A and B are shown apart, each in its own frame.
Chain A
Amino acid sequence: MKYLRNPLVLSGMVIGAIAIALQRLGNPPNMGICVACMIRDISGALGLHRATTVQYIRPEIIGLVLGSTLSAAANREFHARGGSAPLVRFFLGFFAMVGALVFLGCPWRAILRLAGGDANAIIGLAGLAFGIWVGVGFLKAGYTLGRSHWNEQGSGLVMPLLMVVLLLLALFTPQMGIADGARTGPVFVSLKGPGSQHAPLVASLVGGLIVGVLAQRTRFCTVGALRDLMLIRDFHLFSGIVAFFSTALFLNLVLGQFRWGFAGQPIAHSSHLWNFAGMALAGLAFTLAGGCPGRQLIMSGEGDADAGVFVLGMLVGAGFSHNMSMAASPAGPGAFSQVGVLVGLAFCLALGYCMRRTDLGVN
């Protein structure tokens, strides 16, 4: 029972329970919370891509960032900062999204997919671990994007304010485009497919807020969990994702939602090579940027402009992924998934190799 006194374990359990609750309330299967999928849906809702089945302003993302902002402000941890290779971070976010959308999920969804019995997630998680392992190698060799610096506090409010604008767009869904002389989106809202499956707005927003507060307090990070295990044999963060997985698995079993196997899994495909390679790219990009996509959202809410740029890179990357057929679908990888993953890997490997410094140690 001593594990229950660990705030990370408790938070992991609550986050797992919220994810399953959001699925019961209408979110797509094994997608109670998926940072990559949800940012991709927002990208579509804003017209950055035209995949009509994945367009919806997901309030969970808004809640995550605003929950983090509120929690950070209440605990005097809201600090505007930035300036550590922002353009590089933009493209790390971009390619992390390309990789995640080849697998069809971020690390959080990979864990939720496994908890729902989707065996393809094992391949994806193996790829994620491999990507993180490569990133850890670069970190050990002195990889760095350089220092960030503190800014005026107001500059840290850009991402939270962007989330408020997104919330207004979600609430009023204005038709701001014109096609064939008639009003149309953006804002687009899917009428069929995963984008049309969602919990009520208030439930999604509140769920996201709670997860945002908990993740801000506990530093919950899926990529950091594996990274710290490899780097310093530290199980601290790992305990959080074990609790997250166990709770989701338990609830899926209780609710009769657990179905083991590779074939016919919801919003998933069984191209093992590209599931592995996609998540390897995502894992490497997340490691080089300093944390998983959920963690990047949380940091962007704490005033970290570099994390905010990474999130915007994910948003734009999702648009390009769909526009250029790099995103996979349940039918398998897209026409250009392989190209996208290979270009992304080349970018990240070159970056990891080039951005090394040895003068940052003790002086």
Chain B
Amino acid sequence: MRKLDARGLSCPQPVILAKRAMEQFRDEGVEVWVDTGVARDNVERLARMRGFTVSVRTDGNAFILSVKPEE
């Protein structure tokens, strides 16, 4: 799974980068790292809108969203 580090980026850059990554690596899935609740919610909403499954875990200051194609 590819990793996208969007920590520390202002709105809406995490969403733009995540959208691009989801389109590029649709079959592989992407692990998106963000560090604010806003970015976490926005990326999660985008991924679900696009038909991906999302699971979220935390690692220190970071939220890690595993975005995978629906089974």
Contact = CB atoms under 8 A, between A and B. Distances in A.
A224 interface: yes
A145 B11 CA distance: 11
B12 A139 contact: yes
Nearest to B15: A232
Contacts of A77: 36-37
Interface in A218-256: 219, 221, 224, 227-228, 231-232, 234, 236
B12 A361 contact: no
A147 interface: yes
Given A139-B16, A219-B41, A236-B45, A362 B11 contact: no
B12 A224 contact: yes
B65 to A, nearest CB: 13
Provide the main secondary structure of the chain A interface: loop
A283 interface: no
B3 A362 contact: yes
A144 interface: yes
Q: Interface size for chain A: under 10, 10 to 19, 20 to 34, or 35 or more residues?
A: 20 to 34
Interface string A264-303: 0000000000000000000000000111000000000000
B38 interface: yes
A289 B24 contact: no
A177 B35 CA distance: 45
A147 B46 contact: no
Nearest to B31: A362
Nearest to A237: B42
Q: Interface size for chain B: under 10, 10 to 19, 20 to 34, or 35 or more residues?
A: 20 to 34
B8 A360 contact: no
A270 B11 CA distance: 33
B35 to A, nearest CB: 7
A147 B8 contact: yes
A77 B49 CA distance: 25
A227 to B, nearest CB: 6
B61 interface: yes
A226 B56 CA distance: 27
* Most chain B CB neighbours (cut-off 10 Å) among A227, A228, A289: A228
A17 to B, nearest CB: 25
A140 interface: yes
Contact of B11 (A147, A232, A291, A360): A291
B6 to A, nearest CB: 8
Nearest to B22: A362
Contacts of A232: 15, 19, 46, 49
Contacts of B16: 139-140, 231
B26 interface: no
A150 interface: yes
Interface string B30-71: 100001111001000110010000000000010000000000
Interface of A: 75, 77, 79, 81, 84, 139-140, 144-150, 219, 221, 224, 227-228, 231-232, 234, 236, 289-291, 306, 360-363
14 contacts: A79-B35, A79-B36, A147-B7, A148-B8, A150-B61, A221-B11, A231-B16, A232-B46, A234-B49, A236-B45, A360-B13, A360-B17, A361-B17, A362-B3
